[in-house]
Amino acid sequence: MADTHSIITPAIMYWGTPVVLIMTENEEGTANIGPISSAWWLGHRCVLGLASVSQTTINLMRTKQCVLNLPSDDMGHYINPIAKTTGAPDIPPVKQMLGYEYCKDKFARSGLTPRASDLVRPPRIAECPVQMEAELMGSTELMSDMPDRKGFLLALEMKILRTHVRKDLRLAGHTNRVDPDRWRPLIMSFQQFYGLTPQRSVESSLATIEEEKYRMLTRSDVVSQGGDMDRVGSEEMDSGIDERSMGTDSSK
C-alpha cells in the first residue's frame, strides 16, 4: 500500500476542543472573561491549559475560583469581540506580538450578561447553556525539558463544585443527565469555529453503560431538588466495581 501520509510540524495543535469562557475575579474585584479552547474533563475534574502570563491564570492562582462557561455553536459573535483582548493593563510581550489589546469591561464589549454564582465569587455568563462553578486544586508546569520555556504554559486542575445547565438540555426521564442530541457546543479547530452535526456518526457501544455507574469513580455529589447536597444512595453506587478491581484495595 502506498504511503498516504507526510510529515509536518504544526505551530499549534488545536485538533478540535470545546470553547470555554472562564470567569475569574480581578484584584480590584471586577470580573474578567477569558476565552480558551485548551480544556478537557475527566470525571468531575477539568484540566485547563493556560499561559502563566494570562490574566485568567493570574486571577486563578490568587483566588482559586472560577466559572467555566460553555457557549453553544451559535455564540461566536459574542466571543469574537473579546477573543484578542486581555484583562491585564500591562499587556505581556507575547500578547502584544499576537495583536492583543487591553479591555477593562469584557461584558460591555462582548454583549454578554453576568449572573451571580452560588458557591464562588466570579459570576456566571447568562447566555451560556452550561456553567460550571469550579475551584483550583493544583497546577503543573509544562515544557520542563526546555529551560527557556519552562513555566510558560501550565496545566491547571479544576474541581467542579456545581453545574448549571439550561433546562432544555436535560435528558427526559433523568435527573442528572444532559441530552447529547440537544447539546451543541462551540468547537475550535485550528483557530476556526465549528459546531457538531445534529446526527450521530454511528451509535456508540459505550452508551450501553448506565451513566450513573461512573458516579462511584467520580465521587460526585447529587444536588437534590431542594438544593441540598446529598450523597448518592448505595444502590446507585453499586456498579460492580470495588477497590480491589481498581487496584486500590484499602485492606493492603
Strand-strand pairing, 39-42 and 101-102: unpaired
d(Cα 196, Cα 104) in Å, to the nearest integer? Answer: 33
Q: What is the pTM of this model?
A: 0.84
pLDDT averaged over every residue in the chain:
86
Lookup result for grid cell 479547530: 189
Could you give the percent of the chain with pLDDT greater than 70? 84
Residue 40 is classified by DSSP as E
| More confident position, 226 or 73 | 73
d(Cα 239, Cα 224) in Å, to the nearest integer? Answer: 21
Show the DSSP H helices in the chain as ranges: 55-63, 76-79, 93-97, 106-110, 215-218, 234-237
- Summarised one tens digit per residue, pLDDT across range 7-27 is 988 888 889 999 999 999 999
Instruction: Show contacts of 107-110: CB within 8 Å, 24+ apart.
Output: 107/31, 107/33, 109/81, 109/82, 109/85, 110/33, 110/78, 110/79, 110/81, 110/82
Res. 2: pLDDT tops 90? no
Structural domains of the chain, ranges and CATH numbers in brackets: 17-200 (2.30.110.10), 202-252 (no CATH)
Please give the C-alpha separations between residue 123 and each of 25, 29, 88, 126, in angstroms, as whole numbers.
9, 11, 19, 9
- Summarised one tens digit per residue, pLDDT across range 133-158 is 999 999 999 989 988 889 999 999 99
- Summarised one tens digit per residue, pLDDT across range 178-206 is 999 999 999 999 989 999 987 676 777 66
